[in-house]
Amino acid sequence: MNVWLKSNWKKILISCLLTLSPVLVGLLLWNKLPDTMNIHWGADGAADGTGSKAFVVFLLPVILTAFDLLCFFVTPLDKRNRKQNPKAMGIIFWIMPMLSWAVSSFIYSVSLGKTWSVELVLPLLFGALFLIIGNMMPKVTQNKTMGIKLFWTIYNEENWNKTHRLAGKLWVAGGFACLLTAFLPGKVMFPLVLVITFAMIIVPTLYSYSIYKAHKKAGIAYEIPAKDKKALWIALIPILAILIFVGVLLCTGDIAVTCENDAICITADYHEDLTVPMDTVTEITYRESLDKGMRVMGFGSPRLSMGTFQNDEFGNYTLYSYTGCDGAIVIKSGDKVLVVNAKTPEETKALYEMLKER
């Protein structure tokens, strides 16, 4: 690894400096930039997340540079990458600088008053990224840190080559498809990009597995070195821990709505709490059912849906909801809309009567 790092230190240095360079642009624009800047946009193109000027100018490029350095230290751990195709290795050096400049330029320009359509920018960025990766995939030689790393590809060169040739074509096609979604409404574009991304992952995986099954039927063995077998068992421990954590997260959690000190107070597991002063509430209504629309930002599980949502009736609104209950209480406070419910329609109706009385 040391030999690889020493022979590529100039490229590594240039890559890190370019990733950090938006800091200089931020410093030049410091007096013109607002103290709080938009850093997240929802499905409707509206900004719904902010960060401090210091975070955007300094911390964001530093975080991306840390990921850049991580790639440089992890990639040569696999000895095969030290003789990796130079064109394939090129993406390691330039992907983070391009991402850093794209993200910082977008945030800076919006903060200075430039109007961009997120529905246009997002599919263009994803499309360009998929095209770059798709062109690179067939060039990547067998290794454990780059490309489609499956049991069936890592331990059989023929499987690796065939899988990556197919994946390269598929990712290029997916990139062009994402570019075309830029002309579609956001409600259609976002789910379509997710479907395209899912297809680009699952199709090569299934194709690789089919090759493995054909090899197994033909008596071709996939030999796993003893040290790799040990590493696989060690890797299972954090994987199982993560699966258990995710399982608990998806099946637990509660929402409590109370009235305290002339305010509606909402406390929720896995999401921020919320307080709405009673004197700002202009209307409270009960709905037997409600079209929740789509989540822009927040937390979702089979049990709970919380965060910023968007639908045709309210536009952007805040939701704290149990997914198993169709009933909903709509609370309007100024120009903001809050939707809450309880575990059952009966409990939701009782909560509505209590809030209405208060």
Q: Which of 168, 202, 220 is the endpoint of a domain?
A: 220
Residues 173, 131 contacting (CB under 8 angstroms): no
Residues 6+ apart with CB under 8 A from 224: 151, 155, 232
227 occurs within a structural domain: no
Q: Does 64 share its domain with 135?
A: yes
Q: 153 and 274 share a domain?
A: no
Helix, strand or coil for residue 276?
strand
**Residue 192 sits in the same domain as residue 260:** no
Residues 158 and 259 both lie in one domain: no
Instruction: Look at residue 189 and tell me if it is in a domain.
Output: yes
**pLDDT digits 0-9 by tens, 296-353:** 777 888 889 898 888 889 988 999 999 889 999 999 998 899 999 999 999 999 999 9
Tally of domains within the chain: 2
Residues 260-277 as b/e (b if ≥16 CB within 10 A, e otherwise) read eeebbebebebbeebebe
Which of 204, 220, 236 delimits the end of a domain? 220
Q: Are residues 53 and 181 in the same domain?
A: yes
Domain identity same for 27 and 135:
yes
Classify residue 280: in a domain, yes or no: yes
Give 233's contacts (C-beta < 8 A, 6+ positions apart).
none
The pLDDT tens digits for 90-136 are 788 888 999 999 889 989 988 888 877 767 788 888 899 999 999 99
**Same domain for 189 and 259?**
no
Q: What are phi and psi of 340, to 5 degrees?
A: -135, 165
Q: Does any domain span residue 238? A: no
Domain boundary among 205, 220, 235: 220
Domain contains 231: no
Range of the domain at 20: 2-220
211 lies in the same domain as 267: no
Q: What's the whole-model pTM score? A: 0.65
How far apart are alpha carbons 113 and 32 in whole angstroms?
11
- On average, the pLDDT of the chain sits at 87
Q: Using one digit for the tens of pLDDT, what is the confidence trace for 15-54?
A: 999 999 999 999 999 999 998 887 766 554 555 567 788 9
